[in-house]
């Protein structure tokens, strides 16, 4: 993989990194003003920058082997560059004087499987700008600008969870986040437990369109209920007047928020795992963002004696599954489940912990 020096012939002036994340509970609740419980993963995206004294910015993405040149007057046509462009444009809007830069991006975060590779790119870009230019951006503001970059420049109407997790979370504790108030605190995993993430091998071909559709359905349900967002619905019984489809969508959000809050008080890994299992059933049946392959992989995980609970993670329609496991059983669980999954015709792989 290329380095900054390989592409530009000199060392960078500033470097920064940010992690991907996996969401343990609280799926599709963030854009409804609800509660989420992500944890950072070890894989990072790294950004390096240097003033280039030229008229244009130069961006190189090591994984893609692609370079792009642009100015801040016009967004680049290449989609991967839109995330970086958005961060630069919003930092300038926030008062930063940004000279043309050479920028190098290298990422270990798996792309397109629901581990927030885009948020890691946005947060690391803004962190690197902060380092290079001495910008007065705290970690929450970085997350907020990163979210705006994704919405306004990459065209994904995301909630704040991914960017807050990338900016604030760590790999040893989950981050309980109220996405409305941004109040947050860390929650330790049960002793002896650890997180396993497996890729289903199913491309998330409907993730963007399905995500935006689900968000619109939630907004429609909230409007019919006369509330600002589904966060304001406390009980499933309040959903009875909704049309059947919207009732199921809203029921997932209401029950998922409750599961996140219950998880904070769990004293055992088994209790936490039971909430993960219930979350998957809700995502499958009420929110309808699972697939047959995801359901198969989750069921195989749930059947393993070393697994406390498992569910799809991310937007759904493919991508990854997360499981809470006995820490000393991670390797054997992954091996057994992936072997069984291959017998069903699946082609999965281990994402977290990263394989050596």
Report d(CA 143, CA 149) in Å as an integer. Answer: 10
Tokens at 298, concatenated: 């989750």
* pLDDT band of 113, cuts 50, 70, 90: confident
Report d(CA 156, CA 347) in Å as an integer. Answer: 28
Q: What's residue 348's pLDDT?
A: 95
Helix intervals (H) in the chain:
4-8, 79-93, 117-133, 139-152, 161-168, 207-225, 244-264, 269-285, 292-302, 330-343
Q: What is the average pLDDT across 16-26?
A: 97
Q: What is the average pLDDT across 47-75?
A: 96
Tokens at 228, concatenated: 């600002």
Burial class from Cβ neighbours inside 10 Å (0-12, 13-18, 19+) for residue 103 reads: buried
Tokens at 25, concatenated: 């509970």
Tokens at 292, concatenated: 């047959």
Tokens at 76, concatenated: 């680049």
Helix intervals (H) in 265-329:
269-285, 292-302
- 153 and 168 housed in the same domain: yes
- 131 and 237 housed in the same domain: no
Q: Is the pLDDT of residue 127 over 70?
A: yes
- 227 and 151 housed in the same domain: no
Q: What's residue 352's pLDDT?
A: 96
- 129 and 232 housed in the same domain: no
Read off the pLDDT of residues 314-341 as tens digits, 9 standing for 90 and up: 889 999 999 999 999 999 999 999 999 9
- 242 and 174 housed in the same domain: no
Q: How many residues does the chain have?
A: 356
Active centre residues (catalytic):
162
Q: Is the pLDDT of residue 353 over 80?
A: yes
- 135 and 30 housed in the same domain: yes
Q: What's residue 212's pLDDT?
A: 85
Final residue of a domain: which of 188, 219, 253? 188
- 263 and 134 housed in the same domain: no
Strands 193-199 and 184-188 come out as unpaired
Number of domains in the chain: 2
CA 285 centroid distance within chain: 22
- 14 and 68 housed in the same domain: yes
* CATH number reported for the structural domain that contains residue 113 in this entry: 3.30.230.10
HSE, side-chain direction, 13 A CA sphere, residue 249: 22
- 67 and 90 housed in the same domain: yes
Q: What's residue 207's pLDDT?
A: 64
Q: Is the pLDDT of residue 12 over 90?
A: yes
| Structural contact between residues 307 and 324, judged by C-beta atoms closer than 8 angstroms | yes
Read off the pLDDT of residues 206-235 as tens digits, 9 standing for 90 and up: 667 788 899 999 999 999 999 999 999 999
Report d(CA 222, CA 181) in Å as an integer. Answer: 19
Dihedral over Cα of 245, 212, 254, 285: its sign: positive
DSSP designation for 354: P
Report d(CA 295, CA 280) in Å as an integer. Answer: 8
Q: What is the average pLDDT across 239-264?
A: 97
Q: What's residue 157's pLDDT?
A: 78
* CATH number reported for the structural domain that contains residue 253 in this entry: 3.30.70.890
- 245 and 117 housed in the same domain: no
- 71 and 26 housed in the same domain: yes
* pLDDT band of 114, cuts 50, 70, 90: confident
Structural domain range at position 80? 4-188
Final residue of a domain: which of 188, 206, 229? 188
- 123 and 57 housed in the same domain: yes
Q: What is the mean pLDDT of the chain?
A: 95
Final residue of a domain: which of 188, 216, 235? 188
Share of residues in the chain with pLDDT > 70 (%): 99
Q: Is the pLDDT of residue 205 over 80?
A: no
Tokens at 96, concatenated: 């930063």
Question: What is the pTM (predicted TM-score) of this model?
Answer: 0.93
């Amino acid at each position: 993989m290329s380095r900054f020096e390989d592409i530009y012939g000199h060392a960078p002036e500033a470097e920064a990194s940010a992690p991907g994340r996996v969401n343990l509970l609280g799926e599709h609740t963030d854009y409804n003003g609800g509660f989420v419980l992500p944890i950072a993963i070890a894989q990072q995206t790294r950004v390096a920058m240097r003033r280039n004294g030229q008229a244009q910015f130069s961006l190189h993405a090591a994984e893609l082997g692609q370079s792009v040149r642009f100015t801040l007057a016009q967004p680049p046509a290449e989609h991967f560059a839109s995330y970086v462009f958005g961060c630069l444009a919003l930092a300038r809007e926030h008062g930063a004087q940004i000279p043309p830069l050479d920028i190098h991006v290298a990422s270990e975060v798996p792309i397109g499987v629901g581990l927030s590779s885009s948020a890691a790119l946005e947060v690391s870009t803004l962190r690197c700008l902060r380092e290079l230019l001495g910008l007065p951006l705290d970690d929450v503001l970085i997350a907020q600008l990163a979210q705006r970059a994704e919405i306004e420049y990459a065209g994904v109407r995301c909630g704040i969870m991914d960017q807050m997790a990338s900016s604030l979370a760590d790999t040893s504790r989950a981050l309980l986040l109220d996405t409305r108030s941004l109040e947050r605190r860390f929650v330790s995993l049960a002793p002896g437990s650890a997180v396993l993430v497996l890729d289903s091998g199913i491309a998330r071909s409907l993730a963007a369109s399905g995500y935006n559709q689900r968000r619109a359905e939630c907004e429609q349900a909230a409007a019919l209920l006369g509330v600002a967002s589904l966060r304001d619905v406390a009980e499933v019984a309040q959903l009875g007047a909704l049309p059947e489809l919207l009732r199921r969508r809203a029921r997932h959000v209401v029950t998922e928020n409750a599961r996140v809050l219950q998880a904070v008080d769990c004293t055992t890994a088994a209790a936490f795992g039971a909430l993960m299992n219930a979350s998957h059933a809700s995502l499958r049946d009420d929110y309808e963002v699972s697939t047959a392959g995801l359901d198969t992989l989750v069921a195989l995980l749930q059947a393993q004696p070393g697994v406390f609970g498992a569910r799809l993670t991310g937007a759904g329609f493919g991508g990854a599954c997360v499981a809470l496991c006995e820490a000393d059983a991670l390797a054997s669980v992954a091996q057994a489940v992936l072997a069984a999954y291959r017998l069903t015709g699946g082609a999965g792989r281990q994402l977290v912990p990263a394989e050596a």
